[in-house]
Amino acid sequence: MRPVVLVGHRHVCPVHGPGTVISGTDGVTVGGRKAACVGDSTSCGAVIVTGGVTTFGGRAVAREGDTTSHGGTLVEGDNGWLLD
């Protein structure tokens, strides 16, 4: 089980360096922050391309360790909400 990624959580891009997740799903919030899903954006312009088996609005929820279109990795998640 891996922590769910929320808007504002960190990612590391091999092209642009460190940044944050800047968009999330409208249907799910944790502590006032939207959950990130496949297709959501990061501050460097990459989009999240991998996620777990759990979906919201037909999109897989992103977890710590999932990847982006620039080959980056989501390196932070909410340890209070874990998903496969």
CB–CB of 65/2 below 8 Å? yes
Q: What is the pLDDT of residues 40-81, one digit of tens each?
A: 999 999 999 999 999 999 999 999 999 999 999 999 999 998
Give me the count of residues in the chain: 84
What's this model's pTM, rounded to 2 decimal places? 0.95
Distance CA 48, CA 21 (A): 9
The verdict on domain 1-78 having CATH code 3.40.30.10 is: no
Confidence of residue 84 (pLDDT cuts 50, 70, 90): confident
Report pLDDT for 27. Answer: 84
